[in-house]
Structure 1
Amino acid sequence: MLEFGIATVLLIGTILIGFPIAFSIGITTVIYILMTNPANISAIPIRMFSGINSFTLMALPLFMLAAEIMIRTGISSKLFDFVRITRFGKKRGGLAYVNILVSTIFGSISGAALSDIAGLGAVELQAMDEDGYDKGFSCAVTAASSIQSPLIPPSNVAILYAGTMALSVGAVLYAGLIPGLLLAFGEMAYVKLNSKKFPMHEKEYTKEEKKDIRKRGLIAMGMPLIILIGITAGIVTPTEAAAVAVLYALIVGIFVFHNLTLEMVISSLKAAGKTTANLFIITSLSAVFAWAIGVENIPAQLTAFMMSVTESKYVMLLIINLIFLIVGMWMETSAAILLFVPILAPMVTTMGVHPVHFAVIVILNLTVGLITPPVGVVLYAVANVGKEKFETVVKSTMPFILMGFALVLLLTYVPEFCLFLPRIMGFL
């Protein structure tokens, strides 16, 4: 146990000083094995392979590739114009509504908050700047609306969680839909309550422009709908749905938008390959770390310790919420899931928390952490794109952060918000 404690301190220390997550996990696990039983070093490649030997995880690189292709075809600007010509774009504060709605839709394609910022941030901030919105507020609503992405299906984060913990992919995907929409509705309610502060400027389009915008917008929204319908109806597995998504993105880019070139496909492959390689290295090395956790019987010991502190699962969930919120400020979402969920999930399941309910709580905490100072990587990303001071962005984002905290508590203590849809869909 002492050896594992030393390895854990080394892991935390290397992460805090800026080591890549994969290297931190790999180095500390090797040190642990050398301290305990050097003969076990031969188990590392076996455990690494078993960690990524999953049919479900095969969907991740394909979803990432589909998202990269769709982003390069300019889907973000097409979705932005599509929502802008609706009634929301004509209200006072219309572009704030549009920002939230587009990020909610785009999130079902990109599946990650930072991808939302990269694909949509510049478009949204430029349009709001031209219409005279306060820059701090524009950055705040752009940052806040991006955290729906990991919740709205099909979500790469949800698929990773399901694959890691051997849960139904469909159940975890649909469990995040209502929470993601609640987050979007809460943000829109805040805009409504403060609408008098915002400008009203409706951009004019001709009938032909509106017709073209509607066509392109509906086509762009087709990909997530095809994926969800295919998985729900049992027509395709998540991995097959990911392959269909890539084919759909290629067809749309080549034959509908007419702007997808070979160079763009190659750059999409490179970007998806780089992201996948990084994620799979973390996943494989996390599997070795999880093996060390099992050898030391950490989940059982942690359960016993936490039960000595409190026997209430509600108090336990509150403590775990704080842990994941803090972790989410400092660590990339996927890495945090791979490192911490295998330790904590068995404990909360033993206390009667549904595994799918816990999945949504974890994902929401980690994503709210992305916009929570002092770190909040999404805040830094938005401040960089919007060329605004970090402290100004933080101040303007505080109402949305508090909204995120409130939703975390609501979902924690009312699990039906997470379990209702998967249950009626037949996944639970």
Structure 2
Amino acid sequence: MILELWMVGLVIAFLLLIRVPVGLAFIGPSMWYALADGNSSGFALKTTFDGLNSFPLLAVPLFILVGVLANRLGIADRLYDFCLAALGRVRGNLAYVNVGSAVGFSWMSGSALADVAGLGKMQIPQMVRAGYPYGFASGLTASSSLISPVMPPSIPAVIYAATATVSTGALFAASVVPALLMAVGLCVYIFLWTARRPQYVSVPFDRQRFAKAAMRATGPGLTPVILLGGILSGYFTPTEAASVAVLYMLVLGVIYRSLRPRLLLQALRETATITGGIALILGAAALLGLILTRAHVSRDVAEFLTAISDSPWVFIILVNIVLLILGALVDATAVILVTVPVLLPIAVDLGIDPVYFGVVMIINLMIGLLTPPVGSVLYITSSVTGRPVDVVFRGVAPFLIPLVGVLVLISAFPAVSLWLPGVLGF
């Protein structure tokens, strides 16, 4: 069946090339292979649905709903106004506000697409009106949105933890420092960029405006305390924490008088649409994963990599290269589901911590959201602003330097990501 397996790979690659949705591109050829291998269609469908039968995965639609509600109910706007009031006196203030609001929103969202779709509509026009080049404004907004899927509650982290059977809480804790380093890296680039452009002057600090904005942001600011405090202290599982976070968003909507039946219905519809796409990928990848396991792909890959070198550092370098390429071609969820069963056993045999490996994998794949041909964040940014994708990518390209720099730092020093889980007792 080796020839048939190669045919499956080529057909999937062709379907992805002509921009067939990832879930459909996976499931069709995979079902054909399963039938050709003597399995029934019922077996293939059962394997597909079994890929969704996981309690930790229940957190995914709930975290998506949290981010959607934060956007629709104006909760994200309050965080943006607070950052603007706090950083107004800094040269290049709108650029720093862009990163600061992305960090604040990341504690609620877990999705780069939700971040760039929600905050991008507000941030990019404001920066352009203030005289910032469109390329810089769109590139920074797209790049800062990657903080959301790295910072907990990270949807890719939930999917990786469920696939690798590692603690979601430990992975969340390990992701905090890398996410903050991404923000720091972007801020360093902003500092260097604005240092040569004195026209982006600061505005006087308004204490009254700051106090008002801080009061308005108090409610949203408590979200990470409730969410991560509950998970890391052991009071909630990630799925339970996601349910509590949804309830908290609804309570804030009532308090702020922004919750309307129409808005709630729109939020639920948007969440269902996003979740449906992810679920299709999850199910299809489960079937493809079973096919790869039965074909002993994991063993073959392990033999190939160990033939090159048995050094864990060489392995990490090779994994980084492969994941950067795959992240640019295939949806991150699909890559996690297909590659984790293949690569993680090799990593563990080489003495690599699976939590650290998960952080490295997630950062790699999130950078892929900024690179063509798939580059989901590029297309969302283009859609939000009405500019061509190639113009957006030219703006994004310089920001890849600090992001890749953080990836290199995390890859070279595992303690950077494993320090916080160790402190918290994971």
Task: Determine if the TM-score, normalized by the shorter chain, exceeds 0.5.
Answer: yes
Distance 1:374 1:63, change over 3 A: closer
- Can you list the C-alpha shifts for 1:165-222, whole angstroms capped at 9, x where unaligned? 2110011111111111111111111212232315124278683x54442122121122
What residue in structure 1 maps to residue 273 of structure 2? Answer: 274
Residues 178 and 417, structure 1, Cα contact 8 Å, conserved in 2: yes
Distance 1:203 1:383, change over 3 A: farther
- Can you list the C-alpha shifts for 1:87-120, whole angstroms capped at 9, x where unaligned? x221110111110111111122121111111110
What residue in structure 2 maps to residue 6 of structure 1? Answer: 7
What residue in structure 1 maps to residue 230 of structure 2? Answer: 230
The answer to whether the aligner puts 1:89 opposite 2:96 as a matched pair is: no
Residues 95 and 190, structure 2, Cα contact 8 Å, conserved in 1: yes
What residue in structure 2 maps to residue 179 of structure 1? Answer: 178
Alpha-carbon distance in structure 2 between the residues aligned to 1:130 and 1:13 = 42
What residue in structure 1 maps to residue 263 of structure 2? Answer: 264
Query: 1:250-329, aligned counterparts within 5 Å?
Result: 250-255=250-255, 257-329=256-328
The answer to whether the aligner puts 1:104 opposite 2:129 as a matched pair is: no
Q: Aligned with 1:288: secondary structure? A: helix
What residue in structure 2 maps to residue 34 of structure 1? Answer: 35
Residues 189 and 402, structure 2, Cα contact 8 Å, conserved in 1: no
Alpha-carbon distance in structure 1 between the residues aligned to 2:206 and 2:345 = 55
Distance 1:206 1:51, change over 3 A: same
What residue in structure 2 maps to residue 133 of structure 1? Answer: 132
What residue in structure 2 maps to residue 416 of structure 1? Answer: 415
Moved more, 297-306 or 341-350: 341-350
Residues 329 and 373, structure 2, Cα contact 8 Å, conserved in 1: no
Offset at residue 390 of structure 1 (A): 4.2
What residue in structure 1 maps to residue 424 of structure 2? Answer: 425
Offset at residue 10 of structure 1 (A): 1.6
Moved more, 46-55 or 116-125: 46-55
Distance 1:416 1:15, change over 3 A: same
Alpha-carbon distance in structure 1 between the residues aligned to 2:289 and 2:364 = 22
Moved more, 40-49 or 157-166: 40-49
Moved more, 379-388 or 18-27: 379-388
What residue in structure 1 maps to residue 393 of structure 2? Answer: 394
Offset at residue 153 of structure 1 (A): 1.0
In the alignment, structure 1 segments of 5+ residues that lack a partner are: none
What residue in structure 2 maps to residue 378 of structure 1? Answer: 377
Offset at residue 151 of structure 1 (A): 0.8
Alpha-carbon distance in structure 1 between the residues aligned to 2:13 and 2:133 = 39
Distance 1:19 1:374, change over 3 A: closer
Distance 1:314 1:338, change over 3 A: same
- Can you list the C-alpha shifts for 1:213-240, whole angstroms capped at 9, x where unaligned? 2122121122222110001111111111
Residues 173 and 232, structure 2, Cα contact 8 Å, conserved in 1: no
Moved more, 372-381 or 192-201: 372-381
Alpha-carbon distance in structure 1 between the residues aligned to 2:425 and 2:229 = 13
Distance 1:288 1:394, change over 3 A: closer
Residues 131 and 201, structure 1, Cα contact 8 Å, conserved in 2: no
- Can you list the C-alpha shifts for 1:278-331, whole angstroms capped at 9, x where unaligned? 211221221121111121121111101121122222222212111111121222
What residue in structure 2 maps to residue 351 of structure 1? Answer: 350
Alpha-carbon distance in structure 1 between the residues aligned to 2:311 and 2:210 = 56
* Corresponding letter in the other structure for 2:330: M
Moved more, 44-53 or 73-82: 44-53
* Corresponding letter in the other structure for 1:13: F
What residue in structure 2 maps to residue 77 of structure 1? Answer: 77
- Can you list the C-alpha shifts for 1:37-63, whole angstroms capped at 9, x where unaligned? 1x3433223322321211111111111
Query: How does the TM-score come out when normalised to structure 2?
Result: 0.94
Residues 89 and 97, structure 1, Cα contact 8 Å, conserved in 2: no
The answer to whether the aligner puts 1:52 opposite 2:52 as a matched pair is: yes
Alpha-carbon distance in structure 2 between the residues aligned to 1:383 and 1:273 = 23
Residues 63 and 156, structure 1, Cα contact 8 Å, conserved in 2: yes
Distance 1:343 1:159, change over 3 A: same
* Corresponding letter in the other structure for 2:362: I
* Corresponding letter in the other structure for 1:32: Y
Q: Aligned with 2:107: secondary structure? A: helix
Residues 329 and 377, structure 1, Cα contact 8 Å, conserved in 2: no
Offset at residue 332 of structure 1 (A): 2.1
* Corresponding letter in the other structure for 2:140: V
Offset at residue 135 of structure 1 (A): 1.9
Q: Aligned with 1:397: secondary structure? A: helix
Alpha-carbon distance in structure 1 between the residues aligned to 2:119 and 2:27 = 35
The answer to whether the aligner puts 1:170 opposite 2:169 as a matched pair is: yes
What residue in structure 2 maps to residue 114 of structure 1? Answer: 113
Aligned-residue identity in percent: 33
Residues 3 and 36, structure 1, Cα contact 8 Å, conserved in 2: no
